Structure 1
Amino acid sequence: MNEAMTKTLSNNPVDPNGESVQRIGRSMARMRLMTGRRLIGRLAIQSAAPGLELSHLDVLDAVRRAQPTGEVTVGMIAEMLRIDPSRASRVVAEMVGRNVLRREASQADARRIVVVITEAGQALLAEILAQKLAIISEIISDWPEQDVERFAALFERFIGGYEAVFLSRDKDTPG
């Protein structure tokens, strides 16, 4: 067992067969199913951009996440989404046709084409985020503010721990 895992386990010995851990596991399974069905994304698309597909949203989000690190190429999008480059190229072309993305020459190498989000794409991202937050707000609308604050803190803590355990055990992650 690695040092981080040992430290985590020794600080808080929780019975993995305890009822609370079992409940968390069952809830995670339910959430995975809903996430797998992309329920929030589908609802957001229905409200914000009917006719858009989840793959369009995935590409738009990949460009949004990658842009701060530098220029975004179709190959980078394909790698991020783990899809075939030809599929990424088709989806980017559809998004260019919708004026959500545009292709332009790289500033670093004019022979290379990069993908950027247009103003319409930024507006679409903002609307989809607003829809997502509205759905979350609806889910917790009858919760006391104290519960919302506590859940937010605990959920952030849980996800941070989840990421840490994953990174400590993932053989493909350097480190």
Structure 2
Amino acid sequence: MAERDDRLIEDMETAGIPAETTRAALAFDAVLQRWRRRVRKRELGHRALSELGLPLDLAQLDVMIAIWAPSNEFGDEPEDETMVSTVAARLNIDPSRASRIVSDLITRGFAARAASQTDARRTVVALTPRGLAIVEAVRRYKFLLLGGFLSDWSAEEIDTLLPLLDRFSHWAETGADETEAGMRARIGSLRDDLARRLSEL
């Protein structure tokens, strides 16, 4: 562990976090930051579009996948009918952006609008056979690569990783807020100390 992290480790100890836990968090954070930089580039998505020769950008592909709503990404029981607002919610994007992309996909023949079967006032969106063929091919591409990588892992390694990764994924949703609430006084002191140090520079 770099010496420049020693003070951080000591600070965390005064906050009640053991040194070994902080060292583990530092190592874990390093892995996540490397992963985040690669994910932000969307390397796998770009490769899929390029190698499959698809005339789409990643935003359009994301919307097509959100329309189809695979259960591993969006739950076992997605809504029976998908509207533009549903797509926006699934991708956490602005409804106007979702609407623009859906309209473009419709113009290009990858998606289509239809009247709702449960409420004639609602308009739903679905993939056309061309759109579905693309989504299925991209998913097969992704899982050929991911499955090929994981095929060298033991069942025990996979059984260990998945629940822990799922557990950590919930930290971003609720755990960070809960942790912050428990450390609010120390975070306040950190903020005040930073303001003081900056004012002295």
Q: What range is the shorter-chain TM-score in? A: 0.7 to 0.9
Distance (whole Å) between structure 1 residues aligned to residue 147 and residue 90 of structure 2 = 29
Distance (whole Å) between structure 1 residues aligned to residue 80 and residue 136 of structure 2 = 21
Structure 1 consecutive aligned stretches of length 4 or more whose deviation exceeds 6 Å: none
Q: TM-score, normalised by structure 1?
A: 0.73
Give 1:99's match in structure 2, choosing from 109, 116, 119: 109
Distance (whole Å) between structure 2 residues aligned to residue 132 and residue 104 of structure 1 = 30
Determine the structure 1 residue equivalent to 2:166.
Answer: 160
Distance (whole Å) between structure 2 residues aligned to residue 34 and residue 166 of structure 1 = 19
Deviations 1:93-147 (A, max 9, x none): 1211232211100111112110012222222111101211233356567xxx3x3
Q: Which has the higher contact order (CA 8 A, sep 6+)?
A: 1
1:22-61 residue pairs with structure 2 within 5 A?
A: 22-61=26-65
Q: CA deviation at 1:21?
A: 4.3
The 1:126–1:156 alpha-carbon spacing in structure 2 relative to 1, beyond 3 Å, is same
The 1:170–1:21 alpha-carbon spacing in structure 2 relative to 1, beyond 3 Å, is closer
Secondary structure of the residue aligned to 1:83 is: coil
Structure 1 unaligned segments of length 5 or more: list them. Answer: 1-12
Determine the structure 2 residue equivalent to 1:78.
Answer: 88
Identity of aligned residues (%): 27
Report whether the alignment pairs 1:169 with 2:175.
yes
Distance (whole Å) between structure 2 residues aligned to residue 160 and residue 111 of structure 1 = 39
Secondary structure of the residue aligned to 1:68 is: coil
Higher gyration radius (CA)? 2
Secondary structure of the residue aligned to 1:72 is: coil
Structure 2 unaligned segments of length 5 or more: list them. Answer: 1-17, 178-201
Distance (whole Å) between structure 2 residues aligned to residue 170 and residue 56 of structure 1 = 31
Secondary structure of the residue aligned to 1:59 is: helix
Distance (whole Å) between structure 2 residues aligned to residue 68 and residue 80 of structure 1 = 10
Secondary structure of the residue aligned to 2:55 is: coil
> Retained in 2: the 8 A contact 1:73–1:114?
yes
**Structure with the higher helix share, 1 or 2:** 2
Q: CA deviation at 1:92?
A: 0.6
The one-letter code matched in structure 2 to 1:122 is L
CA RMSD in angstroms comes to 2.6
